[in-house]
Every structure is written in structure tokens, then in C-alpha cells.
């Protein structure tokens, strides 16, 4: 009896849901958009019309506002941790302490394994960059709203989906590697970094491309009303989560690898000595061989 | 600029990230790292202390074991020495006893011989005396038969006395 009742109630519940869903899909009219799809796409890449005012000083891309917001969130989080959590750290860590320790340890190990000699500053940089990229990309999911200069509402994108943000991140990482190379290895470090001149470009555009394409796909999906049920759970959440993780990992890995390569102390090869030795050996052989032949 | 790249905004992004770096380093990364390093150092110290204590214990144990072995050896040496001494003492006492017994036996035998000789000598003297007395009587009485009887009687009497 109870089993039958349960089945009936489940079926009824499913039917009600189905009716509501079809009603929404059939009756709902998409809200009037300020832009057409192609305009939205174009604007996502170029940010021509959708600008946000930065405290009335200048008009900036929404990505910069996102970047400031992410920094604000992370600052508040770090301060809370510093004031309330870290002083109460225990020898045997609790759950939250374990999360923090794992995070710090993850990036420290990444830096240590790729740059075994010098990694104090690198681990801090990699930690910050990884957290920034991850949180910045996840930030997109929350859909915080901002008002554009034209008065329309826009949901804030990932900071690195803005080309300026991506270039800033890529060039800063390259500069960091350059400074590390010079500080640890002098002239050799400088040359080693300059040799990889395409690195800032590739790092910038990798970030920009990955995050922008994610944003574009999500935008495309959201644009169609009928697709805005269930599908966004996969497309929005999972894709965002995935490329947040991947991009954070890739950039930190690249930075630590190049940093390790550039700051590695190279053994100076005793070239002259070798040549001399070889010469001596050959002359010895020459002097010996005639005697042997005699 | 192509793609609407704006250097001012790039610099703003850089500034933003630099601030974030400082904040994350001083408020989150460094304290956590310091705490972990301190804990690691304390555990390393504990580990080293434990290792040292264990080594000391091992050393002491080895020392005591060698001491015990030496003591056991000493004991066994002493035991064997004592055994040898006891055996020697016993042999000595036995030898002594045997010698004493031999002495006593010898003395007794000598005394016995002396006694025997003495008795025989006394008997011979007495016999001689009897013979003299009898001869004297026979000679004096001239009664041979009587004298002979007399002689037998006195000899008998002498024997009885003895």
C-alpha cells in the first residue's frame, strides 16, 4: 500500500514539474535584449559598447571591475583567515585548516618540484596567481550585476576573459620570470628569459582564449530561452569549474617551469681546459706512436 | 589599438594583481607557511630526540649485556676453580685418612708382634723356670716317678695359670 502510494506521489510530482516546465518554455517570451546575438558576441570580445564607469573617473571594461571585485573578496577572505583562523591553528589540523594547508602546500610543492633551487618568491607568486585565476573564473558563475554607461545591466564576466586582464597576467608572469632569472642567474638568466620572447604572448592569449570561449559558449546557451533549463548546470557550472581548474593549473605550472629553468645555476664548462687537454693528449699520441712504430 | 587593448587598463590590472599578491602573501600564504614550517621543525626535533634516545638506550643495553656476559664468565671460572679446589681438598683428606689408617694398622701390627714376642718370651722363661724347679725337686727327692708326676702337675698348674 505504502509502496503504491509512494509511486503515485512521485508520478504526480513529476507530472506537475513537467507541466510547469512546458508552460514556462511555451509561454515565456525572451526578455527584450539590448543587443542582438552577434552584437553580444562581438562585444564580449571587443568591449566596444558595454563599458562600466570606474568611480566616475573613466570608462573601463567590465572585466576590470570583476578583477577589483575578486581582489576585494580575496582580501576580505585573507583578512578573516589571518585574524580569526590562523591564530587558532592546531598541531593536528581541523577541516578548514587542512584546506588552507593543502592549498599552500599544493603550490609550494609545484614551485619546489619545478624550481628546486630558488622557490621562496615563486611559491608565493604561483599561489596568488592560481587562487586569482580560479576564483576569478568562478566569479563569473555568481553573475554579479553591474550597470553599463548606456544604462543596461550586465553580469560581470571573469576578469581574465577581458583581453586587458589576460595580457596583464601574461606579461606580469613573464616579467616575474625575467626578474627571477636576473636575480638568481644574472646575465644567463636574462638571456634565458629573453630567448622565450613568445612566452608573454602565448600565456596571455591562452588565458584569454580559454576564458573567452567559455564565456561565449555559456552566453550562446543562455541566449536561447529553451536551453536555459538544466543545460546551464552542465555548461555553466561544470565548464566553468573545469576551465577554472585547468587554467589555474596551466599558468602556475608554466610559470614555475620557466622560472625553474631560468633560475637554475648552470655549471660552467671548462672549455679551454678541455681543448688544451685534448691537444696535449693528441701530441702525446703523436710522440708515442712513432716510437711504437719504430 | 587592435582588439581594444588599452594599456591603462592593463596597468590597472597589474596594479590590482600586485595588491592581491601583497595581501595574499602577508595575510594568508606566509602565516600558513610559517606555521607549517614551525610544526615540521618541531616534529623533526621530536624525531631526532627519539632517535637519539633510542641510540643511547641501545648503547646502554649493549654495555649491560657485555657486563652480564663478563660476569657470567667470571662466575663460571670461579665455579670451576672452586670445583677443582674442592676435589683437591677431598683427595688430600682422603690421602691423609688413608695414610692415618695405614699408620694405625702398622702400629697395631707392630704392637701385636711385640706383645706376641713378649708372651712367648715369658712363656719360655716360665717353662725354663718350671723345668729348673722340677729338675731341682727330682734331683732332691730322687723319686723319679714321683718327681715325674710332680713335674707334670706343676707344668699343668703353670698352663692353667696362664
Q: What is the structure's pLDDT at A293?
A: 42
Q: Is the pLDDT of residue A211 over 60?
A: yes
> How are beta strands A153-155 and A52-54 bridged, if at all?
unpaired
- In angstroms, the CA B23 to CA B36 distance is 19
Phi, psi of A117 (to 5 degrees): -85, -55
Q: By CA distance, what is A82's nearest residue in B? A: B27
Q: Which of A174, A198, A177 is nearest to A260 (CA)?
A: A177
Picking from B3, B25, B35, the nearest residue to A163 by CB comes out as B3
A50-55 long-range contacts, Cβ below 8 Å, gap at least 24?
A50/A148, A50/A150, A50/A152, A50/A154, A51/A148, A51/A149, A52/A146, A52/A147, A52/A148, A52/A149, A52/A154, A53/A149
- Best-predicted range by mean pLDDT among A112-121, A200-209, B44-53? B44-53
Nearest chain A Cα distance for residue B40, angstroms = 10
What are the start-end ranges of the H helices in chain A? Answer: 2-27, 37-46, 62-80, 95-114, 120-142, 163-185, 187-195, 199-223, 231-232, 239-263, 271-293
Lowest mean pLDDT, pick from A110-119, A222-231, B49-58, B80-89: A222-231
Q: Would you say residue A28 has pLDDT above 80? A: no
Residue B161, chain A, CB below 8 Å: the answer is no
* Whether pLDDT at A259 is above 80: yes
Distance from C-alpha of B133 to C-alpha of B157, rounded to nearest angstrom: 13
C-alpha grid cell for residue B155?
A: 707344668
Least confident of A117-121, B13-17, B101-105: A117-121
Give the model's pLDDT for residue A18.
92
Query: Is residue B15 within 8 angstroms of chain A, CB to CB?
Result: no
Contacts of A91 in chain B (CB under 8 A): 39
C-alpha cell at A238: 561544470
Q: Nearest 5°: CA angle at B18, between B12 and B22?
A: 145
Choose from B8, B14, B20 for mutation: most chain A CBs within 10 A: B20
CB A211 within 8 A of CB A167: no
Give tens-digit pLDDT for A233-243.
Answer: 777 788 888 88
Q: Which residue has the cell 627571477?
A: A180
The interface predicted TM-score of the complex, written ipTM, equals 0.76
Q: For position A288, what pLDDT does the model report? A: 47
Output the nine-digit C-alpha cell for B58: 641501545
Q: What does the alpha-carbon distance between residue A151 and residue B32 come to, in Å, rounded to a whole number? A: 44
For residue B52, the enclosing domain spans 2-161
pLDDT for the residue A290:
46
Q: What are the pLDDT digits (tens) for A80-92?
A: 999 998 888 888 8
Chain B residues near residue A51 by CB distance under 8 angstroms: none
The CA–CA distances, whole Å, from A37 to A42, A46, A215, A230 equal 9, 14, 13, 21
* Per-residue confidence (pLDDT) for residue A218, from 0 to 100: 75
Among the ranges given (A21-25, A66-70, A251-255), the one the predictor scored with the smallest mean pLDDT: A21-25
Query: Cβ contact (<8 Å) for B13 and A79?
Result: no
The bridge status of strand A58-60 relative to strand A52-54 is: antiparallel
Q: Is B59 helix (H, G, I), strand (E, B) or coil?
A: helix
Are A184 and A263 within 8 A, CB to CB? Answer: yes
Q: Compute the nearest-CA separation of A186 from chain B (Å).
A: 24
CA distance A32 to chain B (A): 27
Higher pLDDT, B141 or A279: B141
In this predicted structure, the answer to whether residue B148 has a pLDDT above a threshold of 90 is no
Give chain B's domain count. 1
- The answer to whether B35 contacts chain A (CB < 8 Å) is yes
Q: How many CB atoms lie within 10 A of CB A66?
A: 25
User: For A39-48, A132-141, A282-291, B94-103, which range has the lowest pLDDT when averaged over its residues?
Assistant: A282-291
DSSP letter assigned to residue A146 = E
Between A284 and A77, the more confident residue is A77
Cα–Cα dist A212/A205, whole Å? 10
> What are the boundaries of each domain within chain A?
31-276
Amino acid at each position: 500500500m505504502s509502496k503504491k502510494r509512494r509511486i503515485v506521489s512521485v508520478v504526480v510530482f513529476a507530472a506537475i514539474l513537467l507541466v510547469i516546465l512546458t508552460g514556462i518554455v511555451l509561454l515565456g517570451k525572451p526578455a527584450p535584449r539590448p543587443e542582438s546575438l552577434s552584437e553580444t558576441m562581438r562585444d564580449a570580445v571587443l568591449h566596444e559598447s558595454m563599458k562600466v564607469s570606474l568611480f566616475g573617473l573613466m570608462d573601463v571594461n567590465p572585466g576590470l571591475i570583476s578583477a577589483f571585485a575578486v581582489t576585494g573578496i580575496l582580501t576580505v577572505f585573507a583578512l578573516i583567515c589571518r585574524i580569526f583562523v590562523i591564530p587558532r591553528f592546531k598541531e593536528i589540523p581541523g577541516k578548514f585548516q587542512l584546506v588552507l594547508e593543502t592549498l599552500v602546500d599544493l603550490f609550494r610543492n609545484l614551485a619546489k618540484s619545478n624550481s628546486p633551487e630558488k622557490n621562496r618568491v615563486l611559491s608565493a607568486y604561483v599561489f596568488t596567481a592560481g587562487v586569482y585565476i580560479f576564483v576569478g573564473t568562478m566569479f563569473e558563475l555568481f553573475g554579479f550585476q553591474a550597470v553599463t554607461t548606456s544604462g543596461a545591466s550586465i553580469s560581470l564576466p571573469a576578469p581574465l576573459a577581458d583581453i586587458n586582464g589576460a595580457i596583464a597576467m601574461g606579461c606580469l608572469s613573464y616579467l616575474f620570470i625575467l626578474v627571477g632569472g636576473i636575480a638568481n642567474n644574472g646575465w644567463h638568466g636574462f638571456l634565458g628569459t629573453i630567448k622565450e620572447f613568445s612566452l608573454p604572448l602565448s600565456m596571455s592569449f591562452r588565458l584569454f582564449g580559454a576564458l573567452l570561449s567559455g564565456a561565449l559558449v555559456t552566453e550562446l546557451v543562455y541566449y536561447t530561452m529553451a536551453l536555459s533549463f538544466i543545460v546551464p548546470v552542465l555548461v555553466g557550472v561544470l565548464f566553468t569549474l573545469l576551465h577554472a581548474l585547468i587554467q589555474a593549473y596551466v599558468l602556475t605550472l608554466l610559470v614555475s617551469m620557466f622560472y625553474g629553468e631560468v633560475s637554475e645555476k648552470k655549471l660552467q664548462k671548462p672549455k679551454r681546459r678541455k681543448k688544451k687537454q685534448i691537444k696535449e693528449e693528441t701530441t702525446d699520441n703523436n710522440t708515442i706512436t712513432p716510437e711504437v712504430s719504430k | 589599438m587592435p582588439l581594444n587593448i588599452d594599456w591603462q587598463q592593463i596597468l590597472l590590472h597589474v596594479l590590482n594583481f600586485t595588491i592581491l599578491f601583497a595581501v595574499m602573501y602577508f595575510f594568508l600564504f606566509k602565516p600558513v607557511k610559517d606555521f607549517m614550517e614551525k610544526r615540521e621543525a618541531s616534529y623533526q626535533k621530536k624525531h631526532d630526540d627519539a632517535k637519539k634516545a633510542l641510540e643511547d638506550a641501545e648503547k646502554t643495553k649493549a654495555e649491560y649485556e657485555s657486563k652480564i656476559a663478563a660476569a657470567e664468565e667470571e662466575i663460571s671460572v670461579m665455579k670451576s676453580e672452586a670445583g677443582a679446589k674442592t676435589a683437591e681438598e677431598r683427595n688430600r683428606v682422603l690421602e691423609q685418612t688413608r695414610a692415618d689408617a695405614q699408620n694405625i694398622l702398622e702400629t697395631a701390627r707392630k704392637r701385636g708382634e711385640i706383645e706376641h714376642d713378649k708372651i712367648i718370651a715369658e712363656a719360655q722363661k716360665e717353662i725354663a723356670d718350671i723345668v729348673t724347679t722340677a729338675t731341682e725337686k727330682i734331683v732332691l727327692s730322687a723319686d723319679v716317678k714321683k718327681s715325674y708326676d710332680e713335674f707334670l702337675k706343676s707344668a699343668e698348674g703353670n698352663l692353667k695359670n696362664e
